Structure 1
């Protein structure tokens, strides 16, 4: 059980925060991360429209053979994506705590511009305490 990475995607589909926490993820360039975040944003939009019964908020978990992506969509359209091992039981709990850290350290920061990359030391510190030091 492991947490491999965390992405924060703004409501327009732009990657505003990305961090790796464990070995195992492919080493991607910044541009590749941006493309993947935009693609996930599109997939999430499509899945929100596919529901055969009523409305849907889109995909919450995307599972592959060796990892899964757990997605938390906020009321403002910001997506928090946790990339974990398939057996990771605490992904939803961790995402909720990441969202709390985002609300406290980023959104309450008067120097942060909404929808722009997150460069708030307090957020990094809280994520490190929550998940680990990681590999950037």
Structure 2
């Protein structure tokens, strides 16, 4: 599995979780990640309006020469974004498991505000085990 990173973007377009899993990913500042998440949020909103037939949930995959960005949109508007190699075929199932970990470890925490950054060791541990980084 070639997973490079994971982002969680809240319904307002703010980056509430970001983690890199591979050294090949460009080293960006936290500000640059915030800008990218906001830009992705805007692109996703635009693509949800472009469907020529009926409604659309927006872009689900954005692919480049050396990466693939798979987007999972929840019913509450939270987006889970997995950055992988273009040949990765398990991104959808990984995102589903990330969402389950988020629901169990983050949303069941009575002290967590859904629009605020995720600071949860249980979630970090589950993500590390899921991706297989052992961090």
Pick the TM interval, shorter chain: over 0.9
Quote how far apart the aligned CAs of 1:113 are. 1.2
Show structure 1 runs of 4+ deviating over 6 A: none
Structure 1 partner of 2:7: 7
Quote how far apart the aligned CAs of 1:23 are. 1.5
Report if the CA contact (8 A) 1:72-1:79 is conserved.
yes
Structure 1 partner of 2:58: 58
Q: Does 1:34 align with 2:34?
A: yes
| Superposition map of 1:97-136 within 5 A | 97-133=97-133
The aligned length equals 135
Distance of 1:31 and 1:89 partners within structure 2:
30
Structure 1 partner of 2:48: 48
Unaligned runs of 5+ in 1: none
TM-score normalised by L of structure 1: 0.96
Distance of 1:134 and 1:32 partners within structure 2:
26
Quote how far apart the aligned CAs of 1:133 are. 3.2
Unaligned runs of 5+ in 2: none
Quote how far apart the aligned CAs of 1:124 are. 0.4
Structure 1 partner of 2:22: 22
Distance of 2:94 and 2:132 partners within structure 1:
12
Distance of 1:134 and 1:24 partners within structure 2:
18
Distance of 1:125 and 1:132 partners within structure 2:
10
Kindly provide the CA deviation profile for residues 48-101 of structure 1, in whole angstroms up to 9, marking residues without a partner as x.
Answer: 000000000000000001100000000000000000000001000000000000
Quote how far apart the aligned CAs of 1:134 are. 7.5
